[in-house]
Structure 1
């Protein structure tokens, strides 16, 4: 029987080789100045509109964070310190008081609830205290420094704020992931840490560390000293996949469950790429580092990827001083497009949905357009005889500059 296993083993090895080959990285030469433009409708199509009800109670700041949940859009208005709940059609449901302490707020999709971890105000922690707590986060004595609350979104009759028992992993500021996992993506450099080695991205199940990636020196790493940064982990077209990028690395990685591999490797022109001497520098203080960043403001620090299409890779290019440019990479024709050169047209109601991509709700993609921007666009194109959907047309007729923003549901063409 053993000789018969040889063909099976051979084909297994061939399949494994092919699978690994599919995961091999692609080197892409990217000159930002050469990126093209085009009509917006060549890239996307608009599918629907969400008009948020605007009342004295439901009004929110145009910069508010919008979180899609199973049944609702939850709006976190950080300026007014309040949480608003709307249904998926924009009807106002509930307001959670003013001056709310958000702390570290995240949506737990598996439990369908908002979770907030805040510091216990009874204690005033120093940088040294925080460093010691992070390194010894499983010590039960450290739980007293935090409080945890949640809002049960499945309980539509009450929407009460509940106090929850803090657990050790909450101290690390975990972000809910899939299959009961969570990841920690904050990068902190502080001489108060006792240990030197740490990793920028760590994946846990409960308190059990599964995988960790991107090693750094958390006591004095030159890249991150005097700065607080994080690894970017964003949705992909596949439900079980996330795009991962991190500062000072032009690689685009894919995370599948707890496995990470590089998919693309961007190669930038010399005048935009970070020189090797940056990694050898030792900044003595914040001023010295800030001066270096300002003098080299055109250098590219990081890419943030948003890809919810099988064909187009949407990404933001961030400079050393946080200036941002948005691009699309057409993986089919190996072409780059600059969002600034993509022109909204009548088929997309002249609304700049590409530039205003806000979030995704599973496979659904949403752009957020503020009322004042929408009204200006409407005035600018009154003579163009655009065929607006009735909901959008009514919004143009009734909205003022203080009206809540709208969401445009759209998808990228493949």
Structure 2
């Protein structure tokens, strides 16, 4: 009798813990409201990046913003470029071993450094072999496939670097999660797989798996069939030990720490159908290679199925500031809608439809948030696109925002891209 009462008490306690967990905040794009740009942003600034023989580049593949620098990965020139916060060029980094192409960068705040992940230019790896490689030993060191470098920012002109051990999970673009921890994601099912279960997320401490989340069947889970692999998307915060994540085909945003995970937001009406249920008329033709993680992978030996891209996440480009959330929601055929959520007023807005203010003209604020800091979000626009927008708006005779007006007087369409700094309201 006593044991039964103890068991009943345990069950009641467990039920109470589950029941009292807060439900995710529901964000419904169908109920997005209208407002003006000044209703969201206090400041806007266009910052042209200096164009010179040494600094010219193509597109902003990644942007890292520190207290002193704009750090840009440009895959056209296979280089990392450093500009100060006024857009003046400082220096440029390129890999010394020419066989490696820079693929991914992230800030290492604890060391005031930049982590640089690179892939071998001439090495192809099938998805099947990559999956087996990751399952066998995440901590192995495939030095011929990838490389990792830490570049210190406290002596930037000197470009002081050191080589970092490159474990196998580097193949999946791991993201730092606090001291010595990284998280990575590789999701793929295939009827030929011998292992039955794996997890969508894995937290590594050096070369050991310390946490696993979201189990799936690598042999029978048809939602992850296809000629490609899937990944969860990771969204950094201003705290190195906190990330937000989204999962393929799921409408949730999760908050992840080294020891826990919890669903924080749910996007209403946005759950995508998996590849297995998509009509054949919408299938894409198979391709021979895809870019996944930090290496180019051959799909010729992969299983059959539709190629819908390696990232089928419903929610993406999530930035969590003190008052506002910025995020994108995937629409049919891969397009995104852009939203901003005011946590103070509990209101959702369509960011691409924010109304222009009469005092100054600003183009629609579409496109991804490339980076953010304590006060601002940052976007990137090509100089040519800005001049095309000016040409299209000529009949309106607009009064441009002052830094944009200055760029139109001094810049040219062939110049480097322009950083757009937007400061959201704080009150």
1: CA distance between counterparts of 2:252 and 2:412?
44
Residue 404 to residue 328, structure 1, CA distance change in 2 (3 Å)? same
Instruction: State the aligned residue count.
Output: 384
2:77 aligned to which of 80, 84, 88: 80
Structure 1, residues 75-108: CA drift from partner, whole Å, max 9, x if none?
A: 2111232222222322112233597611454443
Question: In 2 relative to 1, CA 103–337 (structure 1 residues): closer, same or farther, beyond 3 Å?
Answer: closer
Instruction: Report the equivalent of 1:109.
Output: 109
Inter-partner Cα distance in structure 2 for 1:277 and 1:196 = 20
* Worse overlay, 327-336 or 308-317: 327-336
Map of 2:235 onto structure 1? 234
Question: Partner of 1:198: helix, strand, or coil?
Answer: strand
Taking the aligned partners of 2:150 and 2:233, their CA distance within structure 1 comes to 25
CA distance in structure 1 between the aligned counterparts of 2:244 and 2:234, rounded to whole angstroms: 6
Q: Which residue in 2 is equivalent to 1:357?
A: 369
CA distance in 1, matches of 2:119, 2:60: 22
Give the whole-Å Cα distance in 1 for the aligned partners of 2:28 and 2:19: 25
Kindly indicate whether residue 62 of structure 2 is the aligned counterpart of residue 61 of structure 1: no
Partner secondary structure for residue 223 of structure 1: helix
Which runs of no fewer than 5 residues in structure 1 stay unpaired? 1-12, 295-299
Deviates more, 1:350-359 or 1:109-118: 350-359
2:402 pairs with 1:388: yes
Q: Is the 8 A contact 1:120 1:144 kept in 2?
A: no
Q: CA deviation at 1:334?
A: 4.3
Q: 2:387 aligns with which of 375, 389, 397?
A: 375
Could you tell me which residue of structure 2 aligns to residue 265 of structure 1?
A: 266
**Change over 3 Å in CA distance of 1:110–1:184 after alignment to 2:** same
SS at match of 1:76: strand
State the shift of 1:317 in Å: 1.0
Is 1:198 aligned to residue 198 of structure 2? yes
Match in the other structure for 1:25: 23
Residue by residue over 1:127-178, the C-alpha shift from the partner in whole angstroms, topping out at 9 and shown as x without a partner, is 4432332112257575555443443333324215654443455455421222
Distance 2:424 2:207 in 1: 39
**TM-score normalized with structure 2 length:** 0.74
Structure 1 counterpart of 2:257 = 256
Q: Kindly tell me: are residues 347 and 233 of structure 1, through their superposed partners in 2, closer, same or farther at Cα, counting changes over 3 Å?
A: farther
Distance 1:190 1:67, change over 3 A: farther
User: How far 1:54 moved relative to its partner?
Assistant: 0.6
Report the CA distance shift for 1:40/1:197 in structure 2 as closer, same or farther (over 3 A): same
Q: Aligned residue for 2:293?
A: none
Secondary structure of 2:110's match? Answer: coil
Check the 8 A contact 1:181/1:206 in 2, yes or no.
Answer: yes
